[in-house]
Structure formats: structure tokens, C-alpha cells
Structure 1
Amino acid sequence: MEYFEKGNRYLFGRQGTSIDTKMAVYYYKKAMSYHHVESKGVLGFCYEFGLGVDRDFVVAESYYLSASKSYDGLSMARLAFLRKYGRPFVKIDRVEAEEWTERVKMNKKSMDWIIEGATVDKHACCQYVLGVCYHDGVGLLKDEIKAFCWYKASADQGNPRGQGILGYCFGEGFGTKKDESEAMRWYRLAAAQGETVAIYNVGYCYEDGIGVEKNLTEAVKWYTVSAEQGNAFAQNSLGYCFEDGIGVAQDFKLATLWYKKSAKQGYPWAECNLGYCYQNGIGVDKDDQLGAYWYKKAALQGHARAQHNLGFCCQNGIGVTKDEQEAVKWYRRSAERENIFAYHSLGYCYQNGIGVEVNEQEAVFWYYLSAEENHAPAQLSLGYCYRNGIGVPKNEQEAVKWFRQSAEQGNALAQNSLGFCYEEGLGVKNDCARAVYWYHKSARQNNPWAQCNLGFCYANGIGVEQDNARACHWYKQAASQNHARALDKLAIHMQNGLGIEKDLEMAFQLFLRAAQQDHVVAQYHLANCYEKGLGISIDLRQATVWFEKAAMAGCRSSHERLRRLLVRACLVSPGSLPTMSDDDLMCSGFICGHSAPAA
């Protein structure tokens, strides 16, 4: 097409023609009026890079989409880029990006226009785009070295996008030796020309101290400039700064505002973060359905953390219909992207038969993958497996190793388990003082088991000087969380006035709360209260009921007390008997003088 070739001559200055980008656009539009598809794609290129027209990513996208219907290679290659990385007001869609990458392969000459512009005409924009094609393997085989070379050729000509991506190469060691100072230099050069991605990256460098002294306030300043120009990456980072109070006063509402702006542009990290905000009521009203909705948006784009979170929603019916097999599917997808949370969740599913058949060896396999990546909950789970011989031979020393690794990362459950190992001498030399040390660590994180264990240590002088008042303090902490064992222990102290004011009525109430949780020892103590009238009126019927519950759970003392109580009921005078029918006694399983019926 003659008009198309004239456009190329004016764009690149071919055949002695002076470069005139406006004239180039004029001839491309003339060619397009004759339905010349390639001209439509090149027009998109002109709008994307501001060649002869004002830069407009949205208009560029529309030309690319139109030309790609006829399998124009340039258009499909640029759509692959835009869908993967986005640009202000052009929506990201990683799945669609992969589809366009595959479609480019259908046009064997897809890269010809770009290659010629980069190599023959040495056009900076074409050089940048050719670098991208080598970078992502779009229409060409991936090649970091070639990508870097073309980026540098573009950057050396002052192209802002070439400069920005060259900064990335130096910052990440992509195709060249890593040099953070050089990365920052190129980012600044691009940012000075208004390149929003480079502006964002300058902020990122200030946040993490990459090639520059760490300065969170400065980071927020750069993020804001980029975010206000519509950059989705910067909008998400600014939201994160407001959520956690990084370089700016914490403000959950502003956090979700920026997450929403980014998520609406399809940025998967923002979609995941927004889902988390809805699920936990951070800056917005709690809404589990919207939480799952945004997780799924990000998960479908291959975002590993969102895939895991969506799996958790499916497993527990949070905002979606409970579906354990669907949960495992998402956990697997996340695990395929090496998400250590997903490794642990898959292990849990295999251990407990959630969405899959129970397979303890498979559970240990997944726990190990996660634990090796220093994921504290997985280290705890692996420790339990070794301590109890689940999927592996029982090995208390190995259990202690994993408990310790998890505990040293601050995992409260692991700290409690490690304390128990020291107290009991499981896999480690008995050291009660060390046990108390780890119980304290865990208890301060409000772990009720550790609080109860610490209370027991103070009550009995285990690893610390005996102190009933301190014991009651920790029992109270755990009891406030309705911890059954702590309720029972606190009630005993209250019943006897040990370290706390004696109060039989309150002790009875605590025994009752613990017993209703099927805590066997509390059931025994509750029955004792009913039999002896401690904090409650004597009620031998209720005493019988609770002694029986405890006895059925294996409490020998309750079995004996129940036997005595029933013998007593048979021997006392009729006027002294509690109101109990033969049916009542039959229900207890004990009738004086009779055997239980054979099954």
C-alpha cells in the first residue's frame, strides 16, 4: 500500500525523506481508510508513543484491538504487553496477555515492522519494543542479553520508556550485572520525562533503600505522583502505605480507595489486597462475598496469594459455597506458583482428608516444602507430625528442631509446644526454667494454652518460684478466652482460696463452663459440687449425671464416685432418696443387683 509506505518514510526518514511524524500519521490514516490493517496497528503504535499525535493509551488500545481481529502481528504483540503490564486507564488481564502472546505466533511476519524500525532505522521506540519482545518471548525467543541491548540502545537515545526499563535491568540484574545505583540513575532520567512506571520505581527504591538511602516519606511522594497519573502499580503501593502507615499516617479508607482504583485497572495485587480488606472490614464494611469476588479476579490472573486465599474461602464457605474439592484445586494452582502458604494448606488437606483422601505421607511432603521455605505454621505442623509419628516415624528430636525454628519466628503455638517439650523432656533435656521461658513468650501473645501451662507452672513451682497469685493471673487470662482447662484450674483455686478470694458460687460457674466443653476433670469437679453442695444446692441427680459423663470418658475417680453414690442411693431410707426413677438409674448404666443387658 503506497500510503502506508509513505507513512513509514516520514516516520523513519527513509529514502532521504525528512522525519515528520505528523505527516506519517496522515498517510497511515489515509492507508487505513482503504482498510489497510497494518496501518491501523502502526497508528496504535503512534498513539501509544506519542508520535505525531498526543500520547493516548486508550486510543492506542482501540486501534490494536481493531487490527488484531485481522491478526496484525504488531497489534497482537502490543496487546500482549498492555494486558500484562497495563498503562494508565488500560486494563491489565494476565490471562488475555498470554492469549495474545500465543496468537502472535500465528503471524510469522509479526515482528518484521518492529525489527526493521529498530535495526535499520534505529528508531528508539522500536528498539524499546524489540527489547520487550525478547524480554517476554513475544514473537521471538526469550533472550535477556538481547533484551538488555535493545533497551540500552533505546535509552541511550533518550527514550523515557527505554530508560525506565533499563533501570529495571540494572536493579534486578536482568541481562546485565546488578547495579542498584545505576538503576536509580536511569529511573530518575525516565521519571524526569514523566514516565509513570519510572516514577513508581523511584518510589519503590526509596521505600526499600535500593540505590539510595531509605526514605519512606519520599517513597510516598513518588508513589502519589505516579498514582495520580493513573499508574496501577503505584496506586496499589500507595494503598499499602496507607494501610500499614508507611511514610504516611495510617488511613484504612484511603488505603481501600487506592486499592479500588488499582483493582479496577485489573492489577492482581490490588485485587487481592482489596479482597482482603473486604474480608476483614479494613476501610470498608466487612463483606465476605466481595472479598471472595476480588480474590477470584486476581486468582484467575494467576496471582498465587489470591489463589490460596480463594481456596481458603472455598474450604470454609467464606463468601462462597463451601466446596473442599474446589479449595484443593486453588491450593494446587497456588502451589504450582511456589506459594508456601499453599504448600502448608495442601498438607493440612491431605492430613485431614479435606477435598482429598487422607494421605499422611503426602501431607508431610507438602509441610516439608513449606517448612523448608521458613514458613512458621508449616514448621509447627511438621513438628507435630514428627512428635506423633504422622506420616513419618516418630522422632521427638526432629520435632523439637521444627518447633524451635517456628518458635524463633514468633509462632505462639510453636512456642507453647517447645515449652512443653522442655517441661516433659521430649526430644530435649528436661529444663523447666526453659519451659517457662517459652510459655511466657507464647502467653504474652495471648495463647490460652500457654497461659494455662504458665499458670500451672506457677501453681506448682515448676521452673519458677511457687506463686498462687501469679498462677491465678495466668489462669484468668486463659479463662477469659473460655479455655476449658484454665477454667477448671481457676475454679479449684477459687474454691480453696489459693491466690485468689474464695468464692464457691463463682467456682461452680467456672466448673460448669468447662464441663459443658466436655472437659472430663471439670465434669468430675462439677459433680462433686452437686454432691457436696459447693456453690450450689445439693442435687444428687445432677451429681450422678456429671459423674457418669466423666466416667464414660474414662475417669476412674468418677466411676468410683458414681458407684458409691448409687450404692448410697440404694441404702438410704426412702425419705432421704433423691427423686430418681428406675429409668434414671437404667440410663446411668448401673442398677444395684442387676447386670446390664447383653447387646
Structure 2
Amino acid sequence: MYTPKVDDDYLTNPFKSAIYLRQGSGCLLGLPGYTVDFELAAQLLHLSQKLLNVEATALLGFCYEFGLGVTVDYQEAERLYNRAADAGNGLAQARMAFFRKFGRPGIKMDRLEAERWQRTLNHQGPNGIQWIRQAAGEFQLAAAEYCLGLCYMEGQGVVKNDQRAFHWFQKAALQHLDRAQSVLGYCYVEGCGVAKDPAQALHWYRLAADQGESMAIYNLGYCYEYGVGVKRDVHQAYKWYRRAAEQGNALAQNSLGYCYEDGIGLARNPTEAAKWYRRSAEQGYPWAQCNLGYCYQYGIGVTKSFEKGALWYRRSAEQGYSRAQHNVGFCYQNGIGVERSGQLAFHWYRQSAQQGNVFAYHSLGYCYQYGTGVEINLPRAVEWYTKAACQGHAPAQLSLGYCYRNGIGVARINLPIAYDWFRQAAEQGNHLAQNSLGYCFEEGLGVTADPAAAFKWYSAAAAQGNAWAQCNVAQCYLQGIGTPNTGGEPDPVRAVEWFQRAAEQNLARAQQKLGFCYQLGIGMAEPQPERAVHYYTLAAQQNNPAALLHLATCYEQGIGVAVDLGQAIHWLQRGSTLGDLTANERFRELIVRCSLRQTKARAAFGGQVSPIARCA
């Protein structure tokens, strides 16, 4: 057979590029009259692409991607593919779509660009991947068989077909192509074109990992972390993730970040977690970008920065990652690291919801209920809450419970349905729902009143730090409602303890109740009026109606503080302004009383008001 020489001297410039391409392709595939020689093929294709031959440029990229006659160099493959793809070459467009969607060590992902390349390729139809089809079908080139499998898996230039994908992956894997062995393992894990078989998956992953294939190494880590085809072993998972991450695999770098953040297979280390998330994020992996945003938002392993958190969320969201889309929507809704914008919040929530994100369903419900970025539409709010609630989303179940309890967006108030949604959310551990469920049992809303059940659910929420529930537990102890360890008798000492916990969380209701206990000496050896004034003041500053009245009484009567009718009038007036009828009545009475005192004082001092009589 003819083996061409690179220095053929009969070539003239107009024909060199095409002839080098022909000879390079012949050596690459073993065309009739040629011997397969990958090294010579790469040399010839290099000469052709230097003369700006588009097909040769794409084929040389293929050689660099798969190490055919040259050392694997993904960056050089990317450079050549990019040039040929821009010129319309289908092979290069298919490979660029793969690079941008899945990445390779050192290759940056960009899902939007991947979609653009795939759309461009699909406009060409099957002709766009003609070279791949020929190289795989006629010449059994393993790398081409693998690529054709990917085309069928992703629907690139052909109709998506998992069975055909598996067929081509298997052919390439049997030729010992490491990347084909790795993706074949994935097919067995996911049941892609074949019945699920974890043992077979592990077999192919190990074959590929033995050849150093980073995705297979990463997938072995996944198998050990979740017990797929092997006994779960988080220490082995960490080992495999670390090995792939150090090779530059973005997915493994992200998983290694999880290991450090959550302490999977080793001690927690937030700084290391953020470091590995960053390495992955900088390669464009959207999950890692979202995780890095979370680290910045909450100061996990990095200095807290809401702006950087929103930035990384946005980068991930723009690649279509639904969790990041929801998170960036939350940032816009609340002005976290970005300027507050209800319209942008609604936009990103909707983008996330279109991908089935249950958190976004709930957030869209909130937007429709309160008019965040969209006109208020209460029935639509209920629709979105219901969609999330039916998928077991506890916050949505809670919101739906409120809607049915208060008649928001539904035909009528329905307390039994409200109770049922509260119960479902409470049983998932949602502390707000547990507190609401306790209230249902206490008041008999949608369910038979049951003081013991009320106390049980209040206690469950209180144990999670819910201030309202802590205050309710205190009230139960104060009145002996459903408390199993008191025999139904009040326990004022325990009541004060729970009021104190809630008051420390700045809950005005608890501060007012605690002030009342200190004023009357409930649950303690003797009254402490000064402490009562302290807590009344804290609650009154939050406009708690009862605290405003009590504080005014203290100033009026000198309880725990010197008499100061001006302060008494101030707090009563504040309550009156808020619409409290009792405060308004007492405010008027005190004004009249002060006026009478001033009139008497003027008479006693010859028309001059005594300084002692002044009250404001």
C-alpha cells in the first residue's frame, strides 16, 4: 500500500492543501490504498490546515482531542475546532457543542454556547456529521464510534436515540477506548439504551479508570458515595473524587467541594470546599458556580460578599441551572447583592419553574399573592402553591394552609383542608407549620380541639427555635394547657423560662408577657417592676398594643419607674395612633386630667403654672 511522504516535491501550491487533506484522511481512516498511520496523518493534516483547509483543521482537532498521532491536548483541539466550526464544519460544531456542554479538563463549559452550536449543526441535518458517520460505520474508528454515540444521545445531526447511542458506545468500548468505556458505564447506571445494571456499570468504569479517564474516575467516586454497584464507602468516594479533581475534572472538583463542605469522607473544611468550588466554577460548571455563589452569600470558606454571591448565581442561571435561577430570583426579590427588582425576580423564578423546580413554584405563588413583579392574582398564587405542595414542598404546603384558613385565592375558607396542609408540612419538620398546627389543635380549627396535641406541636416548633412557638409553649405552661408533665396544672416557672427564650429573639408578644410576669412576680420569688418596665419598653418600641398600655400605666403610677405623665401620654398616644381604642380612651382621660391639674395649679400660683404640675 502507498504510504505518502510529507515532503512530496511534485505538489504545487494550489493543490497542496487538498492533497495533504486526502493523504491525511487516508492515513487516519485507512482509506483504500493507504495504511493506517495516525502520526503521519496528524503531520499531513497539520500541513493542510496551515494552508487554511477547514476540514483538515477539524480533523486535526479530532487528532488532538483523542490523541491520534499526537499527545492529547484539549486546549489545542478546542482552538482548532472553534476555527473550523466558525467556518461551518459539522464535525467541529458537534465537538464544540460537546466541549461547551460537558467540558474536559481545562475546557470551559458554556451551556448557552453549546446550545448555539447544536442548533447550528442541526440546521445541516445528517450531512453535518457525515464524516463521523463514515469513520464510524465504514472504518470502525473507535473515537468516531464514540462520537456518533454522543450524537445519538444528544440528538446532534440525528434524531435522539438511546439504543443507537448505546450500540456505538459499546462498539468503541470493545476497542478499549477509555471515554467510550466510561460513558458505557453511565448508560448502565441510568438505563440509557440498556437495562440498568450497576455491576456492569462498575466494570466499565474501572476499565476506563485504569486508563486514567477522569470522568470514569469521577463516576467511581459517585458509585462509592451512593452505593451504586458497590458497598457505600464515603472514604473511597473522596479518594476517587480527589484523583479526578486533580486531573482538572470540573464535576469531580465540585463533588470534592461537597465533601469538604459536608464532611463526606473527611473532616469538614469550608476553605477547601470554596477552593474546589471555585476551580470547578472557573471552568464554567454551573452547579459549582451556584455553590460558589452560596459560599459568598453565607461566608462559607470565603469572606461574605452578597455581590459576588449574586454574580456567581447569575453566571450559573444564565447557563440554565434551575437552582441558580431560583437563587438569583431571590436575590432580586430581596435586593441581596443586586438592586431590588420584582420584575427580574419574577423572570428568574419563571425560568426556574419552567424546568420543574419546586422551590420556584412556591416563589411564583408568592409573587402572584403579593404582586412581586406581576399583578396580584390570588387564584394563580394558589395554583402555584398547590403545584409545589403536591410535590411535598413543605413551605408551599404551609402557604396553602394559610390560603385555605384565611380564604385567600380560594372559593371559601376551608379549615379542614387548611389543617391537612399544615399537618403535611409539620410532619416534614417545618417549624412554622408545626406552630400553625398547634394553633389548630388549640382552637379546634379544622380538627377536634386537643390541648395535648397543641402543646406537642408547639414544643416541636419551639425546639427548632421558633419564637412564636416558644411563646405559645410558655402560655401553655402559664395556663396549664396540655402540658403532660404538670398534670394540667400551671407551671409559671417553666412559663417564664420559655417567655425569656422568645423575648431574647425580640418577639414583642413574648417581651410583653415577660414584662407582665416580672410586674406581678409570676414564676419568681417576688415582683421585679424595673425588669417589667424594661421588657414593656422593648415590646412597646415594636408597637405591641398591650405593652404600650402597660408601659403607660407604669409611668402613670410609678411602677418600676418614676412617675412621668408625659411619658404615659406619649405611649398612650402612640397606641391611639395605631387604632387601639383602649389606648385612645385612656389618652383622652389623661389629657383631661392633666389639663385640670394645670388649671388648679394656675389658680394656686396666681395664673402661673407650677413646674411640678407640668406633665409634658
Identify the TM-score tier after normalising by the shorter chain. Answer: over 0.9
- Equivalent residue number for residue 126 of structure 1: 144
Instruction: Output the amino acid matched with 1:280.
Output: Y
1:18 to 35, 41, 62: 35
* Structure 1 residue 474 corresponds to structure 2 residue 492: no
* 1:239-258 correspondence to structure 2 within 5 Å: 239-258=257-276
Distance in 1 (CA, whole Å) between partners of 2:400 and 2:47 is: 69
- Equivalent residue number for residue 498 of structure 1: 522
The gaps in structure 1 that reach 5 residues or longer are 585-599
- Equivalent residue number for residue 35 of structure 1: 52
The gaps in structure 2 that reach 5 residues or longer are 1-17
* Offset, 1:383: 0.8
- Equivalent residue number for residue 72 of structure 2: 55
Distance 1:48 1:411, change over 3 A: same
Instruction: Output the amino acid matched with 2:435.
Output: N
- Equivalent residue number for residue 597 of structure 1: none
SS at match of 2:128: coil
* Offset, 1:26: 1.8
- Equivalent residue number for residue 439 of structure 2: 420
- Equivalent residue number for residue 220 of structure 2: 202
* Structure 1 residue 524 corresponds to structure 2 residue 549: yes
Q: Is the 8 A contact 1:331 1:342 kept in 2?
A: yes
String of CA shifts for 1:449-469, please: whole Å, max 9, x gaps. 000011000001111131011
Instruction: Output the amino acid matched with 1:43.
Output: L
Distance 1:559 1:320, change over 3 A: closer
- Equivalent residue number for residue 574 of structure 1: 600
String of CA shifts for 1:514-565, please: whole Å, max 9, x gaps. 0111110111111111111111111222223323333454544434444543
Q: Is the 8 A contact 1:128 1:150 kept in 2?
A: yes
Q: Is the 8 A contact 1:44 1:60 kept in 2?
A: yes
Distance in 2 (CA, whole Å) between partners of 1:153 and 1:398 is: 57
* Structure 1 residue 359 corresponds to structure 2 residue 377: yes
Distance in 2 (CA, whole Å) between partners of 1:438 and 1:23 is: 76
Q: Is the 8 A contact 1:71 1:107 kept in 2?
A: no
- Equivalent residue number for residue 402 of structure 1: 421
* Structure 1 residue 188 corresponds to structure 2 residue 213: no
String of CA shifts for 1:207-237, please: whole Å, max 9, x gaps. 1111111111100000000000000000000
Normalization by structure 2: what TM-score? Answer: 0.92
Instruction: Output the amino acid matched with 2:509.
Output: R
1:449 to 468, 485, 488: 468
Distance in 1 (CA, whole Å) between partners of 2:479 and 2:179 is: 70
Identity among equivalent pairs (%): 51
Distance in 2 (CA, whole Å) between partners of 1:565 and 1:132 is: 84
Q: Is the 8 A contact 1:227 1:234 kept in 2?
A: yes
* Offset, 1:18: 3.1
Q: Is the 8 A contact 2:458 2:473 kept in 1?
A: yes
* Structure 1 residue 303 corresponds to structure 2 residue 329: no
Distance in 2 (CA, whole Å) between partners of 1:58 and 1:427 is: 65
Distance in 2 (CA, whole Å) between partners of 1:105 and 1:247 is: 44
- My pick for the range that moved more, 351-360 or 73-82, is 351-360
Distance in 1 (CA, whole Å) between partners of 2:462 and 2:343 is: 36
* Offset, 1:265: 0.3
Instruction: Output the amino acid matched with 1:168.
Output: Y
Distance 1:309 1:578, change over 3 A: farther
- Equivalent residue number for residue 6 of structure 2: none
Q: Is the 8 A contact 1:530 1:543 kept in 2?
A: yes
Distance in 1 (CA, whole Å) between partners of 2:343 and 2:422 is: 30
Distance in 1 (CA, whole Å) between partners of 2:564 and 2:50 is: 98
2:409 to 391, 410, 414: 391
- Equivalent residue number for residue 218 of structure 1: 236
* Offset, 1:187: 1.0
* Structure 1 residue 533 corresponds to structure 2 residue 561: no
Distance in 2 (CA, whole Å) between partners of 1:36 and 1:373 is: 55
Q: Is the 8 A contact 2:434 2:460 kept in 1?
A: yes
Q: Is the 8 A contact 2:566 2:615 kept in 1?
A: no
Q: Is the 8 A contact 1:3 1:30 kept in 2?
A: yes
- Equivalent residue number for residue 9 of structure 2: none
SS at match of 2:365: helix
- Equivalent residue number for residue 327 of structure 1: 345
* Structure 1 residue 565 corresponds to structure 2 residue 590: yes
- Equivalent residue number for residue 592 of structure 1: none
- My pick for the range that moved more, 440-449 or 561-570, is 561-570
Distance in 2 (CA, whole Å) between partners of 1:102 and 1:557 is: 71
Instruction: Output the amino acid matched with 2:600.
Output: P
Distance in 2 (CA, whole Å) between partners of 1:418 and 1:3 is: 78
Instruction: Output the amino acid matched with 2:507.
Output: H
Distance 1:579 1:36, change over 3 A: same
Q: Is the 8 A contact 2:29 2:36 kept in 1?
A: yes
Distance 1:409 1:544, change over 3 A: same
* Offset, 1:64: 0.3
Q: Is the 8 A contact 2:594 2:615 kept in 1?
A: no
Aligned residues: 584
- My pick for the range that moved more, 89-98 or 391-400, is 391-400
Distance in 2 (CA, whole Å) between partners of 1:154 and 1:484 is: 70
- Equivalent residue number for residue 160 of structure 1: 178
SS at match of 2:448: coil
* Offset, 1:148: 1.1
Please tell me the root mean square deviation across aligned C-alpha atoms, in Å.
1.9
- Equivalent residue number for residue 589 of structure 1: none
Distance in 2 (CA, whole Å) between partners of 1:37 and 1:548 is: 84
